[in-house]
Structure 1
Amino acid sequence: MAELPFSDAEIEQLVVRFNAVMAKEQTDIPDLGGNATDDEVAATLQETAGDLSRDELTEEIENMNDEQQDALVALFWIGRGDSGPEEWEATKKLARQQHEGPVSVYLLGQPEVGEFLAEGLDKMLKFGVD
């Protein structure tokens, strides 16, 4: 039986945080030219120097041990459809073999990372995990 090195709740929390970070834009629009109350909404969707959410998420992922990082990438790949839950151990091993650079950079570079992690977790739960 497959075993995840973290709880379902931890993955679900990561998904929420990934989605929050990925929803933000990296560009800054200096003059929105609209109503001041509308400007606040656009500003919340832009990353700012004081916004720690991306840095905190990066730090959390990079502080995970190798097994957890490999499992996170494997969940992402399973959610994306690159492999199935029955290939869990092989997918984790492949994640370790192909590991180049920070895992956080790889995952944050994937536009639908939150959705694929959630889908991967769902597939693993249906398959049966400890």
Structure 2
Amino acid sequence: MLNVNPDTVCRLIELARAFHVKEEIVIPEEPTGPDDDWYLQVLANHPADPVFKEFRSIIKDLEPDQQQEVVALLWVGRGDFEQDEWESALSEAAYAWNEKTADYLIAHPMLADYLTDALDMFDYRCD
């Protein structure tokens, strides 16, 4: 079902947890989509962070459709879409896709939990 390797998503979960425990990340307002620039405020002080760099590198190495799947997993785990609305989540992620996907994802303080919940819904587990 997933084109993105679940092990890759699990690594992203590990990195997101490591990144978000370093300091509280405050998002000034609820993001409406990956094309907003709100995440720039959140990430302004982190470009040299090795955890952030690895996270960004992994996302950059994914094909666009795989990046879109990770975004769709975020949205399903967050409750924006139900599991049976997976195709709709993918369509919306494809429509909203841009090259700032890594920044959009990591700016969500609950990213690791959302991705974990979504993987669980699709019967994938991180070891």
Question: Scaled by the length of structure 2, what TM-score is found?
Answer: 0.72
Match of 1:80 among 78, 87, 111: 78
Hey, what does 2:6 align to over in structure 1? 8
Hey, what does 1:64 align to over in structure 2? 62
In 1, Cα distance between equivalents of 2:97 and 2:46: 30
Q: Post-superposition shift, 1:10?
A: 2.4
Letter in 2 for 1:72: V
Identity level (%):
27
Cα 1:92–1:16, aligned 2, differ >3 Å: closer, same or farther?
same
Gaps of 5+ in 1: 27-46
Q: Post-superposition shift, 1:13?
A: 2.0
8 Å CA contact retained: 1:15, 1:118: yes
Letter in 2 for 1:65: E
Query: SS of the residue aligned with 1:82?
Result: coil
Structure showing greater radius of gyration is 1
Letter in 2 for 1:112: M
Q: Please give the per-residue CA displacement for 1:31-63, whole angstroms capped at 9, x wherever unaligned.
A: xxxxxxxxxxxxxxxx98864111111111022
In 1, Cα distance between equivalents of 2:86 and 2:47: 38
Letter in 2 for 1:16: E
Gaps of 5+ in 2: 25-44
Letter in 2 for 1:67: D
- Please list every run of at least 4 consecutive aligned residues from structure 1 whose deviation after the TM superposition is greater than 6 angstroms: 47-50
Question: Scaled by the length of structure 1, what TM-score is found?
Answer: 0.71
